[in-house]
Chains A and B, each alone.
Chain A
Amino acid sequence: MNALRADAVLRLRSNRGAMLALYLVLAVVVCTLVGPWLNPNRGETLDISHVATQPGLEGAHWFGTDRLGRDLFVRTLEGTRLSLAVGLLAGAVSMLIGIGYGAIAGYFGGRTDAVMMRIVEMMSGLPLIFFVIFLTVIFGRNEYLLFLSIGAVGWLTMARIVRGQTLSLRRREFIEAAIVSGAGAGRIIRTHVIPNAIGPVIVYATLTVPEIIMFESFISFLGLGIQEPRASLGTLIAAGATEMEAAPWMLLVPGGILAVLLLCLNIVGDGLRDALDPRAPV
Chain B
Amino acid sequence: MTNLLCIDALSVRFAQGGATVAAVEQVSLDVARGECVGIVGESGSGKTQTFLAAMGLLASNAAAEGSVIFDGEELVAAGRARLNRLRGARLAMIFQDPMSALTPHLTIGTQMAEVLVQHAGASWAEARARSASMLTRVGVAEPARRLRQYPHELSGGLRQRVMIGMSLMCGPELVIADEPTTALDVTVQAQIIELLRALREELGMALVLISHDLAVVAGLADRIVVMYAGRIVERAPARQIFQIPRHPYTAELLKCVPSVWGPRRERLPTLAGQPPRPGESPAGCAFAPRCPRAAERCFRERPLLGGGAHPIAAHAAACHFPLPP
Contacts and interface: CB of A to CB of B under 8 A. Distances in A.
Direct interface between A and B, CB < 8 A: yes
Interface of A: 281-282
A281 B60 CA distance: 10
Contacts of B61: 281
Nearest to A10: B17
What's the interface size class on B, roughly?
under 10
3 contacts: A281-B61, A282-B17, A282-B18
A282 B17 CA distance: 6
Contacts of B18: 282
Nearest to B15: A281
A138 B281 CA distance: 75
A281 B14 CA distance: 12
Nearest to A281: B61
B311 to A, nearest CB: 42
A6 B61 CA distance: 20
A208 B61 CA distance: 35
Nearest to A7: B17
A12 to B, nearest CB: 15
Contacts of A281: 61
A16 to B, nearest CB: 18
Contacts of B17: 282
Interface string B156-184: 00000000000000000000000000000
A142 B17 CA distance: 54
A230 B87 CA distance: 71
A281 B61 CA distance: 9
B279 to A, nearest CB: 15
A282 B61 CA distance: 11
CB-CB nearest 3 A-B residue pairs: A282-B17, A281-B61, A282-B18
B63 to A, nearest CB: 15
A6 B160 CA distance: 41
Contacts of A282: 17-18
B17 to A, nearest CB: 6
Nearest to B16: A282
A282 B18 CA distance: 9
Nearest to B60: A281
A224 B17 CA distance: 52
A170 B202 CA distance: 50
A281 B59 CA distance: 12
B20 to A, nearest CB: 14
Interface string B230-271: 000000000000000000000000000000000000000000
A282 B19 CA distance: 12
A281 B17 CA distance: 8
Interface string B17-61: 110000000000000000000000000000000000000000001
Nearest to B61: A281
B277 to A, nearest CB: 15
Nearest to B59: A281
A131 to B, nearest CB: 42
B14 to A, nearest CB: 11
Interface in B122-164: none
A65 B61 CA distance: 58
A6 B7 CA distance: 39
A2 to B, nearest CB: 14
A124 B17 CA distance: 43
Interface string B58-78: 000100000000000000000
Interface in B93-120: none
A282 B14 CA distance: 13
Nearest to A6: B17
A51 B18 CA distance: 60
Nearest to A282: B17
A281 B18 CA distance: 11
A282 B15 CA distance: 10
A5 to B, nearest CB: 14
A280 to B, nearest CB: 12
B31 to A, nearest CB: 33
Nearest to B17: A282
A188 B72 CA distance: 60
A198 to B, nearest CB: 23
A281 B16 CA distance: 9
A281 B15 CA distance: 10
A187 B235 CA distance: 54
Nearest to B18: A282
B232 to A, nearest CB: 30
B66 to A, nearest CB: 25
A205 to B, nearest CB: 28
A171 to B, nearest CB: 18
B64 to A, nearest CB: 19
A76 B17 CA distance: 45
A281 B62 CA distance: 13
B243 to A, nearest CB: 42
A27 B61 CA distance: 37
